[in-house]
A and B are shown apart, each in its own frame.
Chain A
Amino acid sequence: MNNSQMLISVSMLVLGTVFTRFLPFIAFPEHKPIPKVITYLGQRLPYATMGMLVVYALKDTKISESPYGLFELISLIVIAIVHHVKSNTLLSISAGVFVYLILVNGWI
């Protein structure tokens, strides 16, 4: 690709991305009341989307070959336990990442 073709391709990436980000806000502008069905979805989607995002973040985990996703599973369990006991977001994340790094890098 030459520079102008690159520029067009990058513009397409920007256009597609901006479209997905702005669409809901353009479809339902502030000066108009939001349709009831969208408000209804808007109240439930924050939770469903968090569930989606957790699975999405784990999508490249290979569960059919060794170590069968165990590193991820163990680290998530550590996070859940630490979070249940201490309820400290940064502490729970650090503990989980620490365990994960030890496991994937074979530091023990």
Chain B
Amino acid sequence: MKFKALKAAFPLTLPVLTGYLFLGIAYGLLMSNQGFSILWTILISSAVFAGALQFASITLLTSAFNPLAALLLALLVNIRHIFYGIALLGKYRNIGAKKNFMIFSLADEAFSINVAAQPHPEVDAGWYYFFVNLLCYSYWQLACFSGHLLGAWLPDNIIGLDFVLTALFFVLFLNQWKKRENRKNLLIGVFATALSLMFVPRTQFLLVAMILIVVLIFVFDPIRGESHEQ
């Protein structure tokens, strides 16, 4: 049962493997260039597991001690996870203890795959979601570790491989676009985030975008009498 779920989950994680290898190796390399021991790279990658924050925190970890700034940085960069949780509340019900790991490792990529996934009825959905998370998590650990260890010997003349993650998000977006009833909310997300990106400083643009998204959903897709089943 578990093996079947693993087999079903694996193909969609391949773009994540490519993107994570590229970004994770870059992160490990940066950490090693900043003079951090590999133990810090391992600890941060496995305990934080949030790409954007890990990159953003390098400057902070090389400056004067300021734990409050670290906490605020983590909250601001990762505030988008709150939406992931709300969107997955229904799907992640009744799947046992593995749910804790799935929430702990809920990054952009695992979220985007799982929220859109409709596993084959013969596949255990809970284990499918779990393996998507576990595979993505393992790829990131492998990449950060190798980047720190081997970074100096790796070729650095190919740029742009991280675009594979953008491409993954866009294709998952297109899959949702096929259903007419999803389009309004897909566009709300694009519009609110683009607008916020243009007018709000980088440190707060996600927070503003999220508030705008909630407002727009309530304005343009108001609650109707009957609710759809989840």
Q: Report A's interface with B, CB cutoff 8 A.
A: 1, 5-6, 8-10, 12-25, 28, 30, 34, 36-59, 72, 75-76, 79-80, 83-84, 89-90, 92-93, 96-97, 100-101, 104-105
Contact with A along B205-230 (1 / 0, CB 8 A): 11001100110110001010001101
Tally the A-B contacts, defined by beta carbons under 8 Å.
258
Query: How would you classify the secondary structure of chain B's contact residues: helix, strand, loop or mixed?
Result: helix
CB distance A22 to B74 under 8 Å? no
- Given A40-B223, A51-B187, A101-B161, do A89 and B171 touch, yes or no (CB 8 Å)? yes
CB distance B115 to A46 under 8 Å? yes
Q: Which of B43, B66, B164, B191 contacts A97 (CB 8 A)?
A: B164
B152 on interface, CB distance cutoff 8 Å: no
In the bound complex, residues from chain B placing their C-beta under 8 Å from that of A36 are 223, 227
Interface residue range, chain B = 35 or more
A-B contacts, 10 listed (Cβ < 8 Å): A9-B70, A10-B47, A16-B70, A42-B89, A44-B217, A46-B116, A51-B188, A51-B192, A52-B83, A53-B80
Compute how far the CA of A45 lies from the CA of B170 in the bound complex, rounded to whole angstroms: 16
CB distance A57 to B44 under 8 Å? no
B150 on interface, CB distance cutoff 8 Å: no
Query: Which of chain B's residues 58-92 have a Cβ closer than 8 Å to chain A?
Result: 60-61, 64-68, 70-75, 78-90, 92
Query: How would you classify the secondary structure of chain A's contact residues: helix, strand, loop or mixed?
Result: helix
Given pairs A39-B89, A44-B185, A48-B213, 7 additional interface contacts (CB within 8 A): A9-B66, A12-B67, A36-B227, A48-B188, A51-B185, A53-B189, A105-B158
